Homo-oligomer: A and B are copies of this chain.
């Protein structure tokens, strides 16, 4: 799909694509095909891993992101090679939330409970200050909700230093695992080995003021922040 061509139907009403690379082959029963599952994982994650190909070899790097409807925005310095590459070539973006370790009766069946989204596509470089601002706002609000209207907005010089790329959420795979281990019947019958899930949780600690901050109350948008936990 051309990044600038209008979609015949809004993406949000289409199911996730099933191109060969976005079709889940291993653990099909864990694949989610509705778009809301993709949004849920992307919105719950904080950092993504962006993979690009440089000189024929893969390079994967963690980076921030933000979402506006069916567009994923990534930003970075105008000098960053990974983002320069991402703006011209195919990329793959992974967001992974680990919800627990699955302890089985046999080591072969140990697993993880997780929510995972992988997006494929060829991003376009955002060229207008208007959309660059939309993209940056999405990234900042994703990382720190309520902060765009609270902190100082970027000036022209800062905007010029920032590169923003936009990736359509057209081709993606979502995989979610939850619940118990899947053990061999013989091992269940044999008994004597604990099996179940050790949940992993994320939580925010107490805000730590910067050393150079004059006495100032922690603002509400920060104080009230909640970690998005799995709905299962």
Q: A92 an interface residue at 8 Å Cβ cutoff?
A: yes
Q: Please tell me if the beta carbons of B205 and A218 are within 8 angstroms of each other in the complex.
A: no
Which residues of B lie under 8 Å from residue A76 when comparing CB positions? Answer: 26
Binds B, one of A2-10, A29-37, A107-115: A107-115
A157 to chain B, nearest CB (A): 9
Contact A49/B58 with A140-B107, A199-B205, A225-B198 known, Cβ cut-off 8 Å: no
Contact: B148 with A92, CB < 8 Å?
A: no
Q: How large is the interface on A (under 10, 10 to 19, 20 to 34, 35 or more residues)?
A: 35 or more
A216 within 8 A of partner (CB): yes
A105 to B154 Cα, complex, angstroms:
11
Verify if A12 is at the interface (C-beta below 8 Å from B).
no
CA distance A220 to B56 in the complex (A): 47
Specify which of B96, B107, B187 is in contact with A62 (CB 8 Å cutoff).
Answer: B96
Contact with B along A191-204 (1 / 0, CB 8 A): 11111111111111
A212 touches B180 (CB 8 A): yes
Among B90, B208, B214, point to the contact of A56 (Cβ < 8 A): B90
A207, chain B: closest CB distance, angstroms: 5
A51: B residues at CB distance < 8 A: 49, 51, 58-60, 92
Cβ contact within 8 Å between A199 and B209:
no
Contact B196 A208 (CB under 8 A): yes
**B residues in contact with A105, CB < 8 Å:** 151-152
A154 touches B202 (CB 8 A): no
Give the distance to chain B from A101, nearest Cβ to Cβ, in Å. Answer: 5
Are A104 and B151 in contact, with the CB atoms below 8 A?
yes
Q: Is the CB of A219 within 8 A of B194?
A: yes
Chain B residues with Cβ below 8 Å from A209 are 194-196
